[in-house]
Amino acid sequence: MTFRKVLSADRVSSGLQNTIQNFYPNIVEQVEQEIQKNKVVIVGMRGNHFVKKAMRNLNGWSIPFKYVEVGSYFSKYNERVTLKMWTGFSTFPMIFINGVLIGGNSDLETEKNQGNLESLLQGK
C-alpha cells in the first residue's frame, strides 16, 4: 500500500511555516473545543447532502451530537481548507467520536453496519 506523503516541516521555510500556522487558526480551536466537550461532533457545511444524511443517521439512532457548521458552498472556503489541512481528510462531514476522526457519513454507516459504532461511542 502506498501512503500519501506529507511534506516535513524541515522542507518548509520558516516564513511559510508562520503563514501556515496563522491561516485561520480560530476554526481549528473551535472544533477542538467542541471535540473536548462532546462525545460526537459533526463538522459540516450548509447545503451538503452528506452532512444532512449523517445528522439524520445519528438522530435516527438516538445518538446525540454537536454540529459545527463552517459556511456553505459560497462562504468560509478558507476555514474549510484549514480543517482539511489540519485533519488530512478532504471531505465533509468530518465526524469525530470521542476525539477521533472516523471519516464522513459513509464511514459512519460502515461502522454502524459492522457493529463497531457502540464500541467507538464507549471509547474502546
Provide the domain count of the chain: 1
Percentage above 70 pLDDT, the chain:
99
Average of per-residue pLDDT values in the chain: 96
Q: Is 96 a domain residue? A: yes
Q: Is the backbone peptide bond immediately before 93 cis, with ω within 30 degrees of 0? A: yes
pLDDT score of 4? 85
Q: Is 50 a domain residue? A: yes
Q: Is 4 a domain residue? A: no
| Residue 108 belongs to domain spanning | 13-121
Q: Is 1 a domain residue? A: no
Q: Is 6 a domain residue? A: no
Residue 7 φ/ψ, nearest 5 degrees: -65, 125
At 99, which CATH number?
A: 3.40.30.10
Quick: pLDDT tens for 95-122. Answer: 999 999 999 999 999 999 999 999 999 9
Q: Is 7 a domain residue? A: no
Residues 12, 17: Cα–Cα separation, whole Å: 6
Q: Is 2 a domain residue? A: no
- Please tell me whether the overall predicted TM-score, pTM, comes out greater than 0.85 for this model: yes
Q: How many CA atoms lie within 13 A of 35 on its CB side?
A: 16
Are 96 and 43 contacting, i.e. CB atoms less than 8 angstroms apart?
Answer: yes
